[in-house]
Chain A
Amino acid sequence: MQLLRRRSRVLVPVVAALVALTACSGPEPDVVVYTAMDQVHSEEILLLFQERTGLSVRMEFDIEANKTVGMVSRLRQEAHAPRCDVFWNNEIANTIALANEGLLEPYDSPSAADIPATYRDPEHHWTGFALRARCLILNTERLGEIEEDPSLWPSSILDLESSPWNDVGSVARPLTGTTLTHFAVLYNLWGDDEARRFVGDLVADNANGGVALTSGNGPLMRSVGEGALAWGFTDTDDFNVGRLRGYPVERRFPDQGEREMGTLVIPNTVALMKNAPHAENGRRLIDFLLSKEVEELLARADSAQIPTRDDVPRPAHVPNLGDLRAMAVDWERVGADLPRVQDDLKQAFLR
């Protein structure tokens, strides 16, 4: 009896603690969204949906360091017991890969009716909206010291390997995010041999103190804005943050000449997950995200995303799609080749 009493003095707090730990599970959400879109941009949109509908939204944001692919990896791991209802991806290649693996549920959202067909999956597994474009961010002060005539400043991806621009240029290490997608598209357009040569040149140039390989598009924007680097490749949303911060920067869409490849335009994509636990609420969220209102909000936000619909109002610094020479991309093929290209890039850049 005494032994029991003695042990209960320890067992009671232990059991109480375990109960407390288990109780830490929190309330069940009405809809769960995983998003690879930057938290600073996506959170406000999702909060607006929550406010409008009264539904509690569980938001899972990806981290900058493993943009998109970390989230996609998690969706695959959870496929046996999905927790996510809606996947809001900030790019398209990985969404297509998920669709090909049968992890997405078709949904033809009424909100998507006027979105151009280019950005809609014919089988309705995903829908694209609010685009970003790859662009050059140029520090006008730094470049002005090198070349007075702005028309001679970098204007092509090939300037990353041309003197003198390679010494002051930069691109994010293409292991994640839109830079990975960009390089995957280059492999697709140029073929493996030419793409490998280009990548090899970049790595060799970096080792010799040339092209900088930043940890992401955000740090690249900041480094260019502050003048540590003179120019580099980033996304339009990152550029816009630099512009708003008052950095002496200029945006330039690359390869816009007649016979040039154009710039890469990447839509956000949204999809309903197969066996989503809250499928109906998930559809409501997708309808909201694909609305003109959200495209306008994203265009007016710091991320300055480019609406897919021409009639969506936008500020002057957000271009019309018609103003750009966009790359022609076979996304299905890019998605299929992605794992191979990723491995290639890891071998080259992680050494």
Chain B
Amino acid sequence: MSRWLVSLCAVVFALLALAPVAVTLLRIESTDLGTLLEPRIWSLLARTVGLGLSVAVGCLLVGVPFGFLVARTDVFGARFLRPLSIVPLLVPTLLMAMTWTALSDLRGSVATAGLLVLSYFPLVSLFTARAAERIDARQEESAWSLGGLAAVLRADLGAILPASLAGACLAFTFAVNDFSVPDFVSSVGVKFNVYADEIFANWSQFERPGLAVATALPLLVITLAALAPVLVLRRRGALAPVTSSAIAPATLPLGRLRWPATLFAFAVVAASSLVPLGRLGWEASGGPAAWRPVAVRAAIAGEDAPPAATAPRPVAPGSATTGTASMAGAVREPALTFDERVAAAPVVVGRQLTTFAGAFGKAFDRARDDVRRSLWLSVVAATFALALGLVLGHAAERSRHGTTLLMAALIPIAVPGTLFGIGSATLWDGAWLASLTGGASTDFYATPAMASLLYIGRLSPFAILIVAGAVGSVPKVSEWAAASVGAGPVTTLTRIVTPAITGALAASWICVYAFAMRELDSALVVPEARRTAIVRVFNGVHFGRDEYVAALSLVLIFTILLPGMLWAAFSKRPAKVLP
């Protein structure tokens, strides 16, 4: 690979992905570090690590069997279940939380961990599925002849567990940095604060970026420690592609277990993808309000849904109150009978369809610019990240300093999003830029370009890691052959390597695009990134969402999933996150 091209990309990567982290460290003052001695901080940290470990274990318990089943066995619908299982990874975790809390009484720490498992188990199942596909058929045949399916499963588990653990490490990393789900889920019941909450509060509410950075250090160390095993496993070949001499394993027949296994796989996909999407659709149609007894009875009587009343009803000396018309005193509206439901169904469903269309109309009307901005920023970020990923991912796999490069790539992933955002804002809003351009760039911080740089820096490591993995599967000899006939490094990269890893390149573009569309924590710090669809949804959810917010959430999810769906529909090569 051309040294100067790698150097150029490395400098760009260092500037966009590493410099923001370095800049944040410079903001720490000695007094800030004193905060780390507070018992309260350590208690928060311990709770957060506990949450991360619970999520990692939960992801293993769900992701390992699911990944194995859809990749290697004859469960019904595996072809569809496997791509569907990736959906929760691309859907903002907050949406997962808001739909499940609306559907159930799930609250508190256990519910938080459960919801994060539903969001992040695909990390484990992805790794597991690819590892399971890489097992040599001869190994399985030997195991089968010795002890049937049970022996095969035992042998396979040993082979796939390192890869699954790598996925669990990533799940841990994502879980410990999430503060929106714990906050939202524990709105009712015992409050469940996490460490990322403290970091965000120190920055946004107490205006002490240095303190925010100092508080983030323990979490950063823990996250890096959790990610290091992924690289170790990679070096040991646990995540390596199949060798040319390996024989692809056959589909395992589950026999009597086929139906229970299928039910399990469907249940996982239903809980993590279909239920949240279905609930959002229900909310967009005004479902919860449309089927209230008082609304249904109004529908039967051919009336509009009852208007909210405004009549004051004094209940205590000197107090002014307002109650709804349907409430005469404190009497609960009688529940609906089956006949009432049947009689009202055509009218109520008609009203729901009208509400559904209205909600989407309102979502497009209000959030058109935000969705457009999100799309544009994400496409720019994904494209730039892909270019960086191609060069640096290749270098990471082929050069002597590959491990160093991969370690560096982990840093932006390990840093809490808020912290990365603070670093980017500090870097690009600095006096140095103004002096460099004679004051012309003082507004750079508030431009869309700034938001693009934030996303590229934060998310390009995903492209680097995916491409590095894929380059490992390209025989070095083909690159040597190209070089021997006079092809330059760039030609080799574009003509030899790129065609061989098209699936991985597509996956890295889709991955960065999707993560940029749903990026919230770091986006909250940068002005233009705050004018995006995800932030509008976030605000809507907190305000006490209505049909329009549910519709907007569905629009957002659709736009996140769109490139992946288009690639799957029109490309013959599957998008491959793992080699």
Contacts and interface: CB of A to CB of B under 8 A. Distances in A.
Interface of A: 6-7, 9-10, 14, 17, 20-26, 38-40, 43, 60-61, 63-66, 69-70, 73, 76-77, 81, 83, 140-141, 143-145, 148, 150-151, 153, 155, 170, 173, 175-176, 206-207, 209, 212-216, 218-223, 225-226, 228-229, 238, 241-253, 256-258, 315-317, 319, 323-325, 339, 342-343, 346-347, 349-351
A250 B323 contact: yes
B197 A228 contact: no
Nearest to A320: B320
B205 interface: yes
A327 to B, nearest CB: 14
Interface in B500-558: 524, 527, 530-531, 535-536, 538-540, 542-546
Nearest to B311: A316
Contacts of B540: 40
Among B324, B448, B524, chain A packs the most CB atoms within 10 A around the CB of B324
Contact of A218 (B305, B329, B442, B542): B542
Contacts of A248: 324, 326-327, 332-333
Given A25-B447, A219-B542, A242-B544, A150 B188 contact: no
Contacts of A238: 543-544
Interface of B: 4-5, 8, 40, 43-44, 102, 105, 180, 183-184, 186-191, 193, 197-198, 200-201, 203-207, 288-289, 292, 294-295, 305-306, 308, 310-313, 315-324, 326-327, 329-333, 366, 380, 384, 387, 429, 434, 442-444, 446-449, 452-453, 488, 490, 524, 527, 530-531, 535-536, 538-540, 542-546
A209 B189 contact: yes
Contacts of A176: 205
B395 to A, nearest CB: 14
Contacts of B539: 38-40, 61, 63-64
Contacts of B488: 6
25 contacts: A9-B490, A21-B384, A24-B447, A25-B444, A61-B539, A64-B538, A64-B543, A65-B180, A65-B524, A70-B205, A73-B205, A207-B190, A212-B191, A213-B191, A218-B544, A219-B542, A221-B544, A241-B544, A245-B308, A251-B322, A253-B320, A323-B320, A324-B320, A325-B318, A342-B206
Given A228-B105, A253-B319, A350-B193, A65 B324 contact: no
A173 B311 CA distance: 31
Given A243-B308, A245-B289, 5 more contacts: A23-B449, A145-B330, A207-B190, A212-B188, A324-B320
Among B4, B310, B429, B544, chain A packs the most CB atoms within 10 A around the CB of B544
B380 A21 contact: yes
A165 to B, nearest CB: 14
A247 B320 CA distance: 18
A182 to B, nearest CB: 15
A155 B316 contact: yes
Nearest to B208: A73
Contact of A66 (B43, B204, B288): B204
Contact of A144 (B317, B318, B329, B443): B329
B187 A220 contact: yes
Given A24-B448, A66-B524, A222-B544, A256 B530 contact: no
Contacts of A223: 187-188
Nearest to A256: B318
A229 B188 contact: yes
Contacts of B443: 25, 83
Nearest to B328: A140
Given A81-B442, A218-B542, A39 B536 contact: yes
B373 to A, nearest CB: 10
A276 B117 CA distance: 48
Among B183, B311, B323, B543, chain A packs the most CB atoms within 10 A around the CB of B543
A315 B330 contact: no
A252 B289 contact: no
Given A38-B543, A63-B530, A342-B206, A21 B453 contact: yes
A175 B452 contact: no
Contact of A73 (B207, B530, B545, B546): B207
B106 to A, nearest CB: 11
A151 B317 CA distance: 9
A66 B193 CA distance: 16
A9 B434 CA distance: 31
Contacts of B333: 248
Contacts of A24: 380, 447-449, 452
B200 A66 contact: yes
B188 A228 contact: yes
Contacts of A170: 188
Nearest to A212: B188
